[in-house]
Structure 1
Amino acid sequence: MGGYIPEEILESIRLRADIVQVISGYVNLQKRGRNYVGTCPFHQETDPSFTVTPEKQIFYCFGCHNGGNVFKFIMLQHQVSFPEAVKILGEKVGVAVPEGYSPKVKERLRRGEKVWRINALARDYFHAVLMEHPAAAAAREYLAGRGLTPEIIKRFGLGFAPGDWDALIKFMQNKGVGVRDLVEVGLAVQGERKAYDRFRSRLMFPIADIQGKVVGFGGRVLGDGTPKYLNTPETEFFSKGKVLYGLDRARQHIREAGYAIITEGYMDAITAHQFGITNTVASLGTSLTREHGRLLVNYAREIIIAYDADAAGVAATIRGLDILQELGCRIRVLSLPEGKDPDEFLRKRGVEAWRRQVETAVSLVEFKLQVALEKYKNVSTSKEAVLEEVLPSLAAMNGELEKNEAIKLVASRLYTSYHAVAEQLRRFSNNQPKIGINSDKIAKNKHNIIRKNRINFGERAEYGLLKLMLEDTSVIDSVTGALPGNFFRDSFCNKVYEIMLNIYKHPSYASSVLFDYLEEEHQQKLGMLLMEPVPGEDVEGMMAGYINAIKRRQLLEYRDKLIAALAEAEKSGNREEMVRILHEIKIAEKP
C-alpha cells in the first residue's frame, strides 16, 4: 500500500500527524491512563470501546475490531483510498504530496479538486455580487432586516446569484471553467438548446464539508418564486444526507460545550452563531440520516433538536430522533413557543431566553409522549396507542437508571402502574430481533475477546514471539539469529514478519508503519495483537520459551518427514538408505 507515494513523504507526515490530535478532530476522546477512549465512529455503540494509544500511534476498537495507524483512520473516516488519506493528512500537517498515484486514484482526486476549486470560485463570485452589485440591493436589505452583521455574512460566505440566465457561466468561462464542468458540479443545467445557471435571483449559502471545502450550495429565493429553497443536486461529492451545514465551524465548539444543537435551516444556524451559540448546525431542511448521526457522535453524544414548532417541523423532528438514539446519543427536544423557528425566536427573545429553552428541553421519551397524547386524545384505545409510540425509545435506552425514570414518566402520564409499562416493554423487547454488536459487553471484556481470538489465530508460540518483536525491535535480531529464514506457518505472522525484516532497521521504523503494507484482514489482527498487553516482564525468558517451542515443532516436522522417507526406503528394500534415515531420526529425537 505504501508504494504509491515516496517513503520520505509518508515519514514526514507520520512525524507531524500525532494520532491523538488527528482523531480528536473527529471523535470525542477522554484520557484514561496512557490511552484515550471514545465512542467508535465506525459502528453503533453506547459504551466507549474505541481506544487510541499515543505511544504506539495506533487506534483499535474492541467492538468492531477496526484498527490501524493514522492513515488507516482517515481511510475509514472519509471512505477513501490510502493515497487519498495521505493527501488529506498532508494538507492537515503542511506536507505537500506529489501526484504519484495510480491512474484511477489520480483521476478521482483530480475530479475532487476540480469540484472544490469550481465551488470556491462560485462562492467568491456570489459573495462579491452580494456585497457590491446593484442587483443584490434587495438581498442586502433582506439580510439587514434579518439582523445579520457584515462579519457573520463574511464568515459564512453568503452570496447572491444574479437573475441573468448565464451570469455565472460567463464569469466562469473567463476563469477558464467550461460549461460541461459547471453542469457536472451542479452549478449549471443543460437545456435543450444551451446551458443556463441553476441558481438565479437567489440568496446563496455555500455548504462545506467537515474540512471546510465547499461541496455545494443552497439558494433561497427572494420574493414569491418557487421553490423557496434550491440545493445543488446529488453528486459524487455532495449529498444532503451526508453533510451538516456549519459543522466545519461548529465541531470544536460542540466538543467544548458537550452537546450539539441541530436546527432545520441555514438562517437558524447562522443566527445562532451570531448570538454566540456556536455549537449549532443545520440539517439542510431534510430528515436526519444515520450519516448525520455518525458525524455528530464524533464530537458529542448529547444532541438537542431545535426544529420549527409547526406541524411539519414536528414531523421532521420525529423522523430523525430514533436514528440518533440508535447511535447512542442522548436526545432532547427543544419546542419553541408560538410556532417560532430558532432564527425568529433568537432575534425577538434574545440569547438568555434561548438558554432557558435549552435548559428545559425535554427528553426523547417525553417529547414522543406529548406528541402521541395529542395525536390520540380522542381515541378510545389511546393508552395502548400512546404506549406503542414510546416503547421503541424505551427499549433503545441503555442506562438502567435513565430507563427506569422514563418508565415512571410514561406510567404517570398514562395513569397506569410502573409494572404495567415495564411488562409491556419486556414483551416488546423480547419480540425484537437481536441485531448488531453488543458493544457494552465487549467493552467490559476486551482482553478475554483478544485471548479468544488469539487462540484462533494459530500456534501460541508464533503469536507470542511476534508480539515481543512488535513491542521491542531488539528482539528481532535475537530471533533472526536463532531461527533463520521466515519460519512462521501462520499466514498473518508470516506476512508481518516478512515486512518487518525489510523495514525494521530503518531509523524511523515503528510497529504502526506495518499497517500501511497489510490487507484489511491482517490489519485487524495486527491491531488486536498490538493492543494486548505483554503477558509478563521476563521478555528474555518468554522469547527463549517461544523460540524453543518453534524449534521443537520444526524438529518434529522434520522427524515426521524422515519417518515417511523410512517407510518408502523399507518398501523399496533400500537397506543402506534405511540405516541412514534411522540415524537421522535418532539425532532428531535427542533433547
Structure 2
Amino acid sequence: MAGRIPQQFIDELISRVDIVDVIDARVPLKKKGREHVACCPFHNEKTPSFTVSQSKQFYHCFGCGAHGTALGFLMEYEHLDFVEAVEKLAAGIGLTVPREGGDSAPRGPSPQPLYELMEKSVQFYQQQLRRHPQRQRAVDYLKKRGLSGEIAAAFGIGYAPDGWDNLLQALGTDKEQQDRLLTVGMLIEKDNGSRYDRFRDRIMFPIRDYRGRVIAFGGRILDKGEPKYLNSPETPIFHKGRELYGLFEAKQALREIPRLLVVEGYMDVVALAQFGIRNAVATLGTAVTKEHLERLFRTTSEVVFCFDGDRAGRDAAWRGLENALPLMREGHQLHFMFLPEGEDPDTLVRSIGRDGFEQRIAQAQPLSEYFFEQMGRQADITRLDGRARLVELCRPYLSKLPPGVYRHLMLDRLAQLAHMERDALERMLGGEAPSVIAARPAAAVRPARPPAAPRQQPSLVRSAIRLLLQRPALAQLVGEPQRLVGLQLPGTPLLVEMLELLKQHPHLTTGALLEHWRGSDQGKHLFALAQRDMLLSPEQDNLEQEFSDTVARLLQQLRRQRRLELEQRFGSLSQAEKDEYCQLVKGNN
C-alpha cells in the first residue's frame, strides 16, 4: 500500500498551480474586473455566476453555491477522488507525487516508462488495423458489429496480428524494454526463458485509468477459439478489481453523468456508444467489487446493473447487491436491468434502438424492490412463521447498511412486510441508535420559538482568521504566534496554527490554506468564511490596519485574562508573578 501524500507537498502544489489555468482549460473563463467568470459547469444557467479569484485561488458559484480550490474543482468536475486529483494536478506541472514512509511499502522505480510503453502498444495495434496485410479480417469484423471509424478511434481500438512476436519485434528493442513488456503483461515468458506476444489475432481494446493512461488491454478473438476474451494480467499499473472499461471515455464524451450503466463486456460498451449511449462501462472479467462501486458513485449518483436474465446473470446481480449495501445511503441509487433470454446489450440495442433501450434502463428495478422480491421468494409472508423467516433472512444484509435515511426506509419496508412495529424490529436487529426521524413523535408539539437574539459581531478570533483568508501575507505582522497560545477563546488553536504555517510558508495562497485543512471540521468553517467573503478584495487598503488592530485587541484580552488569573491566587504569588501583575495593572491604566 502506498504511503500518504505529505501535507507539505499538497501545500506547495496548490501554491504553484494557477486555478484560472486549471479551470479555463475545462470551462472557458472571461475576465471581469479583478475576477474571471463563466456559466457554472455544475448547474444550468444563462447568466454567468461562476466566479474565479486568481488572487485567492478560489472559485465560487453564486447560483448553486459550489466553491473550492483548484484541487476541489478537479474532484468535482472530473469526478476524481482526492488522491487522483492531486496526481492529475501534479502531473500537469511536471511534478511526481511523493509518499510518506513509515509502514507503507517502499516506492519502486517510476511507473512512467510502463505507461509510455503501453501508449506505444496502442499506437502499434492501431497501425496494424490500418496497414497490416491481414487487417481486412479485423475491419470486416468491426463493420459486421456496426462500428464506425469514429467510435473505433474514440476507444482506441486496434488489431493484434496473428504471430508470436509482432509486438516483441516492434517494441522490444532491447532487454530493458522486453522486461518492461513482460512486467505490463504484454509478453509471456516460457520456462526456458524465451518470450512471445500475449495477444495474437485479436481485436484490441485499450483499458484506460481515470487519467486516460493505458494500463491494460482486452483482446477479442476474431474466429472461434478460447478464450473468447483475453485480459491483461494484474500488473504494477493494473488492478482489475478497481478499474472499469469505458469510464474515462464516458467522462470525455459527457459533461454531466447523471447515471452509469454497468454491462458485461467491451463490445457491449462500444456498441452502445455507437448508438449514442455513452454512459456504459464494463467490469474486467470480475464480479462488481466494492472498489468498483466506490468509483462509480464518485462519478454519479445512480448506477444501473445490466445483466443477462439467466441464472448466472442473477447470481452476478446478487453479488453486486451484497457489495453495494455498505455504500447505500441517501443520494445513492442502484437499479437492476435484466435482459431478455438470448440477448446482450449489443444485440438488444440493435433490435429496439436507442430510445427503446434507454426506456428499459429507465424502468430498471430499484435495489429495494429487487432485494425484498428475492427475499420474499424464500419465505411465505402470508404465514406467521414465514414472516419470522423473512426477518431472519434479511437481518445479515440490512445490518450492512450505513446509518441514515436509506437504512431507515429499508427497515420500514421490512416492518410492513413482517407486520411488526418498526422500533421493535430495529431493536431486534441490533441496529443504529434511534434516528431523528424515528425518535420524533408523530404529533409532537413544537415549543414556541424564542425571540431572535440581536445579531452579534464576529469574535476577534474569527475576524483574524477571516482576514488571513483574505490576505495570508498579513500573518507576517504578528511576530511570534506563540504569544497567543494561552488565550482562552474559541478558535485560538486554529488561529495560532494558521499563523505558524504562514510564518514557515509565507507564499501560501488562500486556496493552499483551505486545502491544508481539507476534510477537517476546521476546514468546513474556513471554506464557509472564504465563500462568504469571495468578492472582498484582498488589496483593500484597510485590511492591514484592521488585522493589526484585531491582533492588538487579542493581545490586550490575553493580558486581561492573565491579570485575572493572578488576582485569583494573589496570596500565593511568587515575587516574579507579583512583578508581572504590577506591569499588567500599569498597562491597563
Q: Same fold (TM over 0.5)?
A: yes
Q: Which residue does the alignment assign to 2:512? A: 513
Q: Which residue does the alignment assign to 1:321? A: 321
In structure 1, give the amino acid aligned to 2:465. K
In structure 2, give the amino acid aligned to 1:311. R
Higher relative helix content = 1
Q: Which residue does the alignment assign to 1:191? A: 190
1:525 aligns with 2:528: no
CA contact (8 A) 1:190 1:196 kept: yes
Task: Name the CA distance, whole Å, in 2 between partners of 1:419 and 1:582.
Answer: 71
Q: Which residue does the alignment assign to 2:340? A: 337
C-alpha deviation, 1:258, in angstroms: 2.3
Task: Name the CA distance, whole Å, in 2 between partners of 1:158 and 1:354.
Answer: 24
- When residues 83 and 332 of structure 1 are mapped into structure 2, their CA distance, relative to the original with a 3 A threshold, is closer
Q: C-alpha deviations, 1:114-160, integer Å up to 9, x for none? A: 22211111112122223432445444333333222333222212223
CA contact (8 A) 1:365 1:406 kept: no
Identical amino acids, percent of aligned pairs: 23
- When residues 492 and 372 of structure 1 are mapped into structure 2, their CA distance, relative to the original with a 3 A threshold, is closer
1:347 aligns with 2:350: yes
Structure 2 residue aligned with 1:430, among 423, 427, 432? 427
Q: Which residue does the alignment assign to 1:312? A: 312
CA contact (8 A) 1:254 1:299 kept: no
In structure 1, give the amino acid aligned to 2:277. I
Query: In angstroms, what is the RMSD of aligned CA positions?
Result: 5.3
CA contact (8 A) 2:471 2:510 kept: no
In structure 2, give the amino acid aligned to 1:480. L
- When residues 473 and 280 of structure 1 are mapped into structure 2, their CA distance, relative to the original with a 3 A threshold, is same
In structure 2, give the amino acid aligned to 1:493. L
| Mapping for residues 161-240 of structure 1, pairs under 5 Å | 161-174=160-173, 178-194=177-193, 195-240=195-240
C-alpha deviation, 1:371, in angstroms: 4.2
Task: Name the CA distance, whole Å, in 2 between partners of 1:234 and 1:432.
Answer: 40
- When residues 422 and 308 of structure 1 are mapped into structure 2, their CA distance, relative to the original with a 3 A threshold, is same
Task: Name the CA distance, whole Å, in 2 between partners of 1:114 and 1:19.
Answer: 30
In structure 2, give the amino acid aligned to 1:118. L
Q: Which residue does the alignment assign to 1:449? A: none
C-alpha deviation, 1:318, in angstroms: 1.8
Task: Name the CA distance, whole Å, in 2 between partners of 1:205 and 1:334.
Answer: 25
C-alpha deviation, 1:274, in angstroms: 0.4
- When residues 160 and 234 of structure 1 are mapped into structure 2, their CA distance, relative to the original with a 3 A threshold, is same
- When residues 110 and 488 of structure 1 are mapped into structure 2, their CA distance, relative to the original with a 3 A threshold, is farther
Task: Name the CA distance, whole Å, in 1 between partners of 2:437 and 2:173.
Answer: 58
Structure 1 residue aligned with 2:555, among 550, 554, 558? 550
Q: Which residue does the alignment assign to 1:244? A: 244
Q: C-alpha deviations, 1:422-451, integer Å up to 9, x for none? A: 627655543556679x9999xxxxxxxxxx
1:469 aligns with 2:467: yes
1:97 aligns with 2:94: yes
Q: Which stretch shifts more, 129-138 or 204-213?
A: 129-138
Task: Name the CA distance, whole Å, in 2 between partners of 1:534 and 1:17.
Answer: 19
C-alpha deviation, 1:81, in angstroms: 9.2
| Mapping for residues 561-580 of structure 1, pairs under 5 Å | 568-569=574-575
C-alpha deviation, 1:269, in angstroms: 0.9
- When residues 472 and 251 of structure 1 are mapped into structure 2, their CA distance, relative to the original with a 3 A threshold, is closer
CA contact (8 A) 1:368 1:389 kept: no
Q: Which residue does the alignment assign to 2:286? A: 286
In structure 2, give the amino acid aligned to 1:367. Y
C-alpha deviation, 1:71, in angstroms: 3.6
| Mapping for residues 64-83 of structure 1, pairs under 5 Å | 69-71=69-71, 77=80, 80=83
Q: Which residue does the alignment assign to 2:498? A: 496
CA contact (8 A) 2:269 2:282 kept: yes
In the alignment of these two chains, the number of paired residues is 515
Q: Which stretch shifts more, 326-335 or 112-121?
A: 326-335
C-alpha deviation, 1:584, in angstroms: 3.9
Task: Name the CA distance, whole Å, in 1 between partners of 2:432 and 2:235.
Answer: 32
C-alpha deviation, 1:270, in angstroms: 0.8
Q: Which residue does the alignment assign to 2:296? A: 296
CA contact (8 A) 1:254 1:260 kept: no
C-alpha deviation, 1:218, in angstroms: 1.4
Task: Name the CA distance, whole Å, in 1 between partners of 2:429 and 2:304.
Answer: 27
CA contact (8 A) 2:11 2:512 kept: no
In structure 1, give the amino acid aligned to 2:144. G
| Mapping for residues 361-376 of structure 1, pairs under 5 Å | 361-372=364-375
Task: Name the CA distance, whole Å, in 1 between partners of 2:215 and 2:189.
Answer: 20
Structure 1 residue aligned with 2:418, among 416, 421, 436? 421
Q: Which residue does the alignment assign to 1:46? A: none
CA contact (8 A) 1:467 1:530 kept: no
- When residues 130 and 251 of structure 1 are mapped into structure 2, their CA distance, relative to the original with a 3 A threshold, is same
C-alpha deviation, 1:2, in angstroms: 8.7
In structure 1, give the amino acid aligned to 2:128. V
Task: Name the CA distance, whole Å, in 1 between partners of 2:80 and 2:271.
Answer: 30
Task: Name the CA distance, whole Å, in 2 between partners of 1:176 and 1:428.
Answer: 66
In structure 2, give the amino acid aligned to 1:348. S
- When residues 69 and 6 of structure 1 are mapped into structure 2, their CA distance, relative to the original with a 3 A threshold, is closer
Q: Which residue does the alignment assign to 1:122? A: 121
- When residues 464 and 184 of structure 1 are mapped into structure 2, their CA distance, relative to the original with a 3 A threshold, is same
- When residues 541 and 268 of structure 1 are mapped into structure 2, their CA distance, relative to the original with a 3 A threshold, is same
- When residues 159 and 440 of structure 1 are mapped into structure 2, their CA distance, relative to the original with a 3 A threshold, is farther
Structure 2 unaligned blocks of 5 or more: 1-5, 28-39, 61-66, 439-457, 486-491, 537-541
SS at match of 1:512: helix
Q: Under a length normalisation based on structure 1, what TM-score does the superposition of the two structures give?
A: 0.69
In structure 1, give the amino acid aligned to 2:115. W
Task: Name the CA distance, whole Å, in 2 between partners of 1:225 and 1:534.
Answer: 60
CA contact (8 A) 1:19 1:58 kept: no
Task: Name the CA distance, whole Å, in 1 between partners of 2:495 and 2:436.
Answer: 28
C-alpha deviation, 1:376, in angstroms: 6.7
- When residues 255 and 533 of structure 1 are mapped into structure 2, their CA distance, relative to the original with a 3 A threshold, is closer
Task: Name the CA distance, whole Å, in 1 between partners of 2:308 and 2:366.
Answer: 17
SS at match of 1:304: strand
In structure 2, give the amino acid aligned to 1:319. R
Q: C-alpha deviations, 1:403-432, integer Å up to 9, x for none? A: 49994xx8xxxxxxx845362765554355
Task: Name the CA distance, whole Å, in 1 between partners of 2:286 and 2:436.
Answer: 30
Task: Name the CA distance, whole Å, in 2 between partners of 1:435 and 1:312.
Answer: 34
Q: Under a length normalisation based on structure 2, what TM-score does the superposition of the two structures give?
A: 0.69
In structure 2, give the amino acid aligned to 1:496. M
CA contact (8 A) 2:163 2:200 kept: yes
Q: Which stretch shifts more, 232-241 or 385-394?
A: 385-394
C-alpha deviation, 1:283, in angstroms: 1.8
Task: Name the CA distance, whole Å, in 2 between partners of 1:8 and 1:365.
Answer: 44
SS at match of 1:239: coil
Q: C-alpha deviations, 1:85-131, integer Å up to 9, x for none? A: 5423x2xxxxx4367979999x9797332222111111121222234
Task: Name the CA distance, whole Å, in 2 between partners of 1:145 and 1:85.
Answer: 38
Q: Which residue does the alignment assign to 2:144? A: 145
In structure 2, give the amino acid aligned to 1:334. M
1:13 aligns with 2:18: yes
C-alpha deviation, 1:266, in angstroms: 0.9
Q: Which residue does the alignment assign to 1:487? A: 483
Task: Name the CA distance, whole Å, in 1 between partners of 2:16 and 2:322.
Answer: 43
Task: Name the CA distance, whole Å, in 2 between partners of 1:337 and 1:431.
Answer: 40
Structure 1 unaligned blocks of 5 or more: 37-51, 61-66, 91-95, 411-417, 442-459, 570-576
C-alpha deviation, 1:581, in angstroms: 6.9
CA contact (8 A) 2:472 2:509 kept: no
Task: Name the CA distance, whole Å, in 1 between partners of 2:216 and 2:421.
Answer: 47
